[in-house]
Structure 1
Amino acid sequence: MTARWLIVLAVLGMIGAAIWQTLPQAPVAVDPGSKSVAFTLPDLEGTMRQLPEGEVVLLNFWATWCPPCRREIPSMVQLHEKLAAKGLKVVAVSVDQRLDDLTGFVKEYKMPFEVLHDADNAVSHRYGVFRYPESFLIDRHGVVRQHLVGAVDWMAAPVVSAIEAMLAEPPVAGMASGVTVAAAN
């Protein structure tokens, strides 16, 4: 009887492994030192937005149902209040499927920065994101400087210092700044 169960378990394990191999896998993550991936997503009003160019960007992937995401948002709001005037652009990309959930959450947490909606996870997959929250610090040249997985205390001295150092670097000549509104086709 034990041998029979071992054979059944071995066969099920092989079938499971074969099925796992055929499932789509998350692409390779956008690693520090690589170029950020351009994208266009709707904001809460449906206006199509692009990743800011020529700016220091905190790109955060999150969801309303994610407890670590909820924990880090207040410090992200504080970071935005502290460094937005110095040029930091915070772009929070929600992977929630329902826009209604997202809109209420943004109001409740008083999120003053750009919030975009990635309902089908297309952009998060392009960044290799599959755990939430995940964040990318992107410099003015569009290069990912840091990839952070998990909740971050955005007001921690080392984090603020790293972002302030990026903000102190010279701007990119000839590049427009700010969140770009995508042209309607």
Structure 2
Amino acid sequence: MKYRTLVVLLILGLISTTIWIGLPQAPAAVRISDAGSGFRLPDLEGTMQGLPEGEVTLLNFWATWCPPCRDEIPSMVALHDKYAARGLKVVAVSVDQNRTHLQSFVREHGMQFQVLHDADRLVSNSYGVTGWPQSFLIDKHGKVRYHLLGAVDWMSQPLVKTIEGMLAEPAGITYGSTGGERENNG
């Protein structure tokens, strides 16, 4: 009896291992100091857009049905209004399924920055985003300098100071993996 149980367990283990190895691998997430992943997504009019080049960019992954996402939008709008003229680009990537609902939401909340539609979540997955909201601050060289998890107040003094510092950096400076980057988990 023990021998049969061992054989059955061994066979189940082999089958499980074979299935596990055959599963598709998740894409590697973008890490701090990695170059921001190049991508193209449709904007709300259906025109394919990518990340701005040579600009400080706030890349935010969000959804209209996500309460924390909705909470941070007013401060993101205020940040855009205050710093767009100084070169800050805000790119909000929505994972909503319904484009019409998304368009209405964006109009209602006065989101004058670029909103892209990632309905199949391929770009979100390429950045390792599995929960919303998540944001990446990308420098003028396309390097991810900060990764922020969860809703944040974009007009808080530490974030404003960080963004002002990034905007003030000359375009000729490049940063390695120790160039002041950090990950904010809350």
State the TM bucket, normalised to the shorter chain: 0.7 to 0.9
Following TM superposition, by how much is the alpha carbon of 1:79 offset from its aligned partner in structure 2, in angstroms?
0.4
19 and 74 in structure 1: CA distance in 2 versus 1, 3 angstrom threshold: farther
Structure 2 residues without counterparts, runs of 5 or longer: 1-12, 174-186
Q: 1:72 to 1:24 in 2, by over 3 A?
A: farther
Alpha-carbon distance in 2 for matches of 1:130, 1:22: 22
State whether residues 56 and 167 of structure 1, in contact with CA within 8 Å, keep that contact through their aligned partners in structure 2. yes
Residue correspondence of structure 1 range 18-167 to structure 2 within 5 A: 24=24, 26-167=26-167
Deviation per CA, 1:134-155: give whole Å up to 9, x if none. 1000000010000011001000
| SS of aligned partner of 1:69 | helix
Structure 1: gaps of 5 or more residues: 1-13, 174-185
Q: TM-score, normalised on structure 2?
A: 0.79
SS at match of 1:39: coil
- How far apart are 1:21 and its partner, in Å? 7.2
Structure 1 CA distance, aligned partners of 2:156 and 2:33?
Answer: 23
Q: Select the structure of larger CA radius of gyration.
A: 2
Number of aligned residues: 161
Superposition pairs of residues 8-23 of structure 1, within 5 angstroms: none
Specify the code of the residue in structure 2 equivalent to 1:39: F
Supply the AA of the counterpart residue of 1:66: C
What secondary structure, in the 3-state scheme, does the structure 1 residue paired with 2:159 have? helix
CA RMSD, 1 decimal: 2.2
For residues 23 and 132 of structure 1, the distance between their equivalents in structure 2, rounded to whole angstroms, comes to 25
The alpha carbon displacement at 1:171 in A equals 2.5
Change (3 A) 1:91 1:22: same
* 3-state SS of 1:60 partner: strand
Amino acid of the structure 2 residue aligned with 1:146 = Y
Task: Go from structure 1 to structure 2 and tell me whether the alpha carbon gap of 1:150 and 1:33 turns closer, same or farther (over 3 Å shift).
Answer: same
Q: Secondary structure at the match of 1:171?
A: coil
More displaced 10-residue stretch of structure 1: 55-64 or 23-32: 23-32
How far apart, CA to CA, are the structure 1 residues paired with 2:85 and 2:122?
31
